[in-house]
Structures are given as structure tokens and as C-alpha cells.
Structure 1
């Protein structure tokens, strides 16, 4: 096992731990909600609000991830399923979205709860995925969820163009075989589009997917509560 994790960036404590910064972010998210609910573009809104409150780039990134319009919030809530709704169903999991968020959470990176009740982080895949110390634990947590949900099947969807997507597929399938789990892993060139167009139940915190999917389940929120996960939460709301 290597020594990598998805913990905080240098400087994140300065940006996200002081009450002064938290207060600024709380005001900023209220302004974003106001603008987005009046159909202002997200990028322009975040630049305007970011300039007004003199936010740094990572604070603006967090702000964008946590913000949504009133229509988006209601639409997402209307489609959100509970754990009981997953019994005997096939659930599709937005692979890198869920994997990296949970790796970040377990690495004690800062995590943000959005206006829609979803948790998000500041990590991402930039053309390549690197396994970290927390990867195995994440897969085990998702297995616990799978058992408790009594879902029929779990299908992980990963971005085919991302380097090492084939390797993480092997790791997950090996784990599923060892533990007798009805899991499958598929690599797609456009996973977001695939998930929205071809599936009934999705696990993701990706805003675009949540806006256009049929139904979704808030896995990270469920795991935080059910498995009593420790979380380095920035309370912006």
C-alpha cells in the first residue's frame, strides 16, 4: 500500500477553518442562491460573488459545488430515494464521483454539504486516477451499503478515457468475487450521459446528473449517518 491520500491541500485550514471565512462563505452561498434562482449563469454568479467577498479559488470551487437554485433543490429532492426504495433493484454508481468523495472524506479533507443535501469535496480526476490508502475502505463501505440496501445488483460506471480506470475495475471485480457480491463494472466514454439516459437509480453527487437523472440515492449522506463516519464538514448553510 502506498502513502497517498486525498487529504487537505496546503492552505485549506486558512480558507475553511476560521469563523471569519465560514461567515463569508455563508453569505456568499445565500447570494449564489438568490442569483441562480433568478437564472443567472453559475460561472458569472460565482465570479461576481467571489469578487464581492474576496474569495480564493478553492473557496469559489467549494461555493459552486454547494450552490443550487430553488428549482434545482426542489427537483433533486423530488427524485431522491430512500434506502427502502432500493430493495431488489439495480443501482448504478457514478464511480469516480463516489470513490473520490469518500476517499477525501476518510482522508479528513474538507467536505461541504450543498443546498441540495449532497456532500462534495474539492478533489477530482484530472486524466488519471491514482489509488490511495483509503480506496479499499471505501469499497468495503459501499459493500456494507449494498448488503443493507438489499439491492439486486450494483453497477459501477467509470470514465473509460481516464488512465487506470481499467485497474480500478479489476480491483472492484476481484473484491466482488471474493465477497460473493452481485456487482458489475462498466467503462463508458461519456459516463454522465450514459447514467442519465440509461439508468433508473443513480448514486452520485454530480449536479448535472442530479438535475437530469430519473431517480437518485444520497449514498454519502447515508454512510455518514449509518456508519457514523467522522467528517471534516464545513458548515456553509
Structure 2
């Protein structure tokens, strides 16, 4: 096992770890919501708001993830399912999105709760996925959820172009076989589009998927409560 994790970046405590910075971010999210609700483009809005509050690059990243228009919030909330809605259903997992967010959470990186009630992190794949110390624990947490929710089947969808996606798929497939779990692990060239068009129920915190999918479940929110996971959580509103 390597010593990697998805913890905080150097400097994150300075820009996310004080009440003053969090208050500033909350005001920035309010301004973003106002602009997005009036159909301003996201990039232009975040540039404007970022400059106004003198936000650093990672603060702007968090701001974008947490923000949404009134219409987006309403639309996403209307499609959000409860744990009781999942029994005997097939659900699709946005593989890297779920995996990396939970790895970050378990690594004590900062996690941000957005206006839509979804949780997001600041890590990314950037073309290559690297397994970390927390990967196995994440897979076990999803297995716990699978048993408790009485979901019929989980289908994991990974990005085919991402290097090492085959390796993580094999790890999850092996785990499922060893533990007799009804899981499929697949990959797609355009997983976002695939999930939005093909999944009745999707697990993701990707904004585009949430806007275009049929129904979604907030797995990270559920796991934080159910498994009592401690997190460096920042509520952005």
C-alpha cells in the first residue's frame, strides 16, 4: 500500500480554515446564485465575483461547485430520491466522481456543501487515476450502503479515456465477486452523457449530470449521517 491520500493542499487551511474566509465564501455564493438565476454565464459570474471578493483559485473552484441558479436548485431537488426509494432498484454510480469525493472526505480534505445539498471536493482525475490509502475503505462503505438500501444492483461507470481506469475497475469487480455483490463495473467514453440518458437513478455530484439525469441519490450525504463520518465540511450557504 502506498502512502498517498487526497488530503488538503498546502495553503487550504489559510483560505478555508477561518470564519472570515468562510463568511466571505458564503457571500460570494449568494452573489453567484443571483447572477446565475439571471442567466449570466458561469465563467463570467465566477470571474466577477472572484475579483470582487479577491478569491484565490481554489476558492473560486469551491465557489463554482457550490453555486447554482434558483431554477437548477429547484430542478435538482425535485429529482432527489430518499433511501427508501432505492429498494429493489438498479442504480448507476458515477465512478470517479463518487470514489474521489469519498477518498477526499476520508483523507480530511475540505468538503463543500452546495446550494443543491450536494457535497463536492477540490480533487480531480486529470487524465490519470491513482489509488490512495482510502480507496479500499470507500469501496467497503459503498458495499455497506448496498446492503442497507436493499438496492437490486449497482452499476459503476468509469471514464474510459482515464489512465488506470481498467485497474480500479478490476479492483472493484474482484471485491464484488469475493463478497457476492450484484455489481457491474463498466466504462464509457462519455460517462456524463451515458448516465444522464440511460440511468433511472444516478449517484453523482456532477452539476451537469444532476441537471440532465432522471433521478439521483445523495450517497455522500447519506453515508456521512448513516456511518457517522467525520468531515472537514464547509456549508457554503
> 1:213 maps to which residue?
213
Alignment of 1:81 onto 2:81: yes
Instruction: State the shift of 1:234 in Å.
Output: 1.5
Q: In 1, Cα distance between the equivalents of 2:22 and 2:199?
A: 38
> 1:112 maps to which residue?
112
Runs of 4+ in 1 over 3 A off after TM superposition: none
Instruction: State the shift of 1:213 in Å.
Output: 0.2
Task: Using structure 1 for the length normalisation, give the TM-score.
Answer: 0.99
Alignment of 1:39-58 (within 5 A): 39-58=39-58
> 2:4 maps to which residue?
4
> 1:190 maps to which residue?
190
Please say if residues 114 and 235 of structure 2, whose CA atoms lie closer than 8 Å, have aligned partners that are also in contact.
Answer: no
Give 3-state SS (helix, strand or coil) of 1:130's partner.
coil
Q: In 2, Cα distance between the equivalents of 1:74 and 1:20?
A: 29
Q: In 1, Cα distance between the equivalents of 2:186 and 2:123?
A: 22
Q: In 2, Cα distance between the equivalents of 1:48 and 1:92?
A: 36
Q: In 2, Cα distance between the equivalents of 1:129 and 1:235?
A: 28
Give 3-state SS (helix, strand or coil) of 1:102's partner.
helix
Q: In 1, Cα distance between the equivalents of 2:152 and 2:30?
A: 41
Alignment of 1:43-192 (within 5 A): 43-192=43-192
> 2:30 maps to which residue?
30
Instruction: State the shift of 1:187 in Å.
Output: 0.8
Instruction: State the shift of 1:235 in Å.
Output: 2.5
Give 3-state SS (helix, strand or coil) of 1:195's partner.
helix
Give 3-state SS (helix, strand or coil) of 2:228's partner.
coil
Query: Residue deviations 1:69-120, cap 9 Å, x none?
Result: 0000000000001111111110000000000000000000000000000000
Instruction: State the shift of 1:179 in Å.
Output: 0.5
Q: Gaps spanning 5+ residues in structure 1: where?
A: none
Q: In 2, Cα distance between the equivalents of 1:236 and 1:38?
A: 20
Number of residue pairs aligned between Structure 1 and Structure 2: 237
Q: In 1, Cα distance between the equivalents of 2:228 and 2:199?
A: 29
Give 3-state SS (helix, strand or coil) of 2:122's partner.
coil
> 2:203 maps to which residue?
203
Alignment of 1:8-19 (within 5 A): 8-19=8-19
Q: In 1, Cα distance between the equivalents of 2:235 and 2:214?
A: 29
